[in-house]
A = this chain, B = another copy of it.
Amino acid sequence: MLEILKRDGLARTCRFETAHGVLETPALLPVINPRNITIEPRELRERFGFQALITNSYIIRNHDELRERALKQGLHAMLDFDGIVMTDSGTFQSHMYGEVEVRNEDIVAFQRDIGTDIGTVLDIFTEPDWGLERTREAVRVTLERTEQAAALKQDMKLAGVVQGSIFPELRTECARALSALPVDVFPIGGVVPLMETYRFADLVDVIVASKKGLAPDRPVHLFGAGHPMVFALAILLGCDMFDSASYAKFARDGRMMFPEGTKHLADMRGLDCECPACRDHTLESLNALPEEERSKVLAAHNLFVSQREIKVAKHAMLEGELWELVERRCRAHPALIDALRRLKEHRDFLERYEPLSRDGAFFYTGPESMWRPAAHRYQKRYFERYQQPSNKVCVAFDEGERPYGRVYAGTMAEISKVADAHFMVMSPFGPVPIELDEMYPLAQSVFPKAMDLETQARSKELMERFSHGQEYGICLLYDGQQTIDTLATLDGSPSSFDIDLARVKAVADYQFGKGAATLLLDGKVGLVKSKNNDRIRNVLVDGEHILSMRAPDGFFTLRPAGARRLRKGFPSPRLRVIVHVDSVEFNRAGKNVFCQFVQDCDPDLVPMDEVMVVDEEDELVAIGRALLVKEEMCALRKGLAVKVREGVGV
């Protein structure tokens, strides 16, 4: 059973229960070759703290002594490891050597009989150079075998592998079919050749295509991914588990892994690693070790560094900085930059999981940043949901940027005198109306002054889309924010209250959907503002407190009176999470909504959205923030779905 603890987009940290304890993800499972052990399983647990490892049932079964011991003592005792053990089935051997001499039912039954925690189907390794038909047939056989394995698994958890090579449709289909089977873990298989040849952009396509079809209630394992240079990226795309045989292979070869890539000892001019394996070594002392011993130190280094990178990515996710980390990590190799640029093609899919806002600010790291789902979300909603209060628009450009498009007027002071003129600022996100300028990610973003040409061109493209059929004026800002702040004081510009009201309307439509402002603000509107910074705090309509504005991200929290207005105007299930009758009183008391009680919900909800918790009669029960999207809420049987802020009485 999987529980999502925290998430950022597709990335997540989960608890996955097994017979030998709970696996906390993202997690790395070191590979143990039972015939050639580099680091003992007990040491992996005690020195490194690994909760789980992976070994190969095919090798054990083919080795008389190991087979007998595994069957007699059980796998855990044989390995002297009391954590979680996952086993592979021989599929990788078929990739390496062309064929294996074992039947699916036999290897699955064997894995079950030796007491593995997570056993794997003997799937067909789909090679990247295969044609569509051969691959399709391999997927068919893989699914057939998975069904067969599911019938045999009993108490063992079963890993059912997504195959389909570089054909996205096959990957998605395979993933969908697997999701319908009683499979417990979803490895994405057949990706080692892509990683070995640095085809990281293709790897991105494969992961995304698989994720599109996979049910969110089981962990996703990127099979054979053991290099720290890909972990952050794979975690961003929703991979939960990794396994590494490379730590030992690379070590035997004198190669050290780093998140920045691989370094061969012979090419290094100094050692600056602080991992527990390296910290007492210099490059000289490492080189002076006998080969076997050095290889052990390097294997430990490779594991420590890999393990640490998983932690770094997890912390970045929790701190809202995973995108920045991934973009930095992808500078390690041009092939990873290709992978980063490939994410652009998947922006619609990524945007569905993009939170409304996050704690960390949006830091630009390069032209690729502007294709992040946070930027894509803004552009989408701006064009879909934003309504300009006036036809006459004044567009202000930050210092350094050049105006483009038709220009009809002069200085800002002059333009500001145009009756009902409305102000926009050009930004790397596109046109930003001044009413939206406190909202995530617009206000919570940091850019260089000297922008790359690609971002400039993108900004221009958005400006042209905005300006299509529009009449607008141009002025140059010499200090963006400051000048905008003084606008309200210029003659002929709208009053402070009008600007505030425009902000409330624009943010409400942006956050809750087109028409929300009309529903919410029907009546006499009053605003409570902060005495410290003059920013909007509360919105009242006809004396009722309907919304509060959050200072950190510029969005609203919903109050019961506001929720009632939205519920009345928007048909179910919009903005709703519908809970089972058993949960209703619990939630009315202000307690959180758990996944197992969610009956249905708005398919357009994004994480961190304000939602109405309603019962099956559409009666308001509570208000809170959605933590998951619909597929997740409906698929998961454990964990929080909505963090309730306030229960609502009858």
Contacts and interface: CB of A to CB of B under 8 A. Distances in A.
Contacts of A311: 270, 272
A328 interface: yes
Contact of A453 (B327, B367, B447): B367
A74 interface: no
A337 B364 contact: yes
A331 B272 contact: no
Interface in A482-524: none
A268 B314 CA distance: 11
A279 B450 CA distance: 39
Contacts of A279: 274, 276, 279
Contact of A448 (B270, B341, B363, B450): B341
The count of identical subunits is 2
Nearest to A334: B448
Nearest to A325: B260
Contacts of A363: 333-334
B328 A260 contact: yes
B454 A270 contact: no
Contact of A365 (B275, B331, B359): B331
A177 interface: no
Contacts of A454: 367, 452-454
Nearest to A314: B270
Interface string A334-356: 11011001100000000000000
B308 A272 contact: yes
B269 A334 contact: no
A144 interface: no
A457 interface: yes
A403 interface: no
A327 B333 contact: no
A319 interface: yes
A267 interface: yes
A279 B327 CA distance: 27
Given A270-B315, A331-B365, 13 more contacts: A267-B359, A268-B319, A270-B311, A270-B318, A271-B315, A274-B274, A331-B366, A337-B365, A337-B448, A338-B448, A366-B367, A366-B452, A367-B454
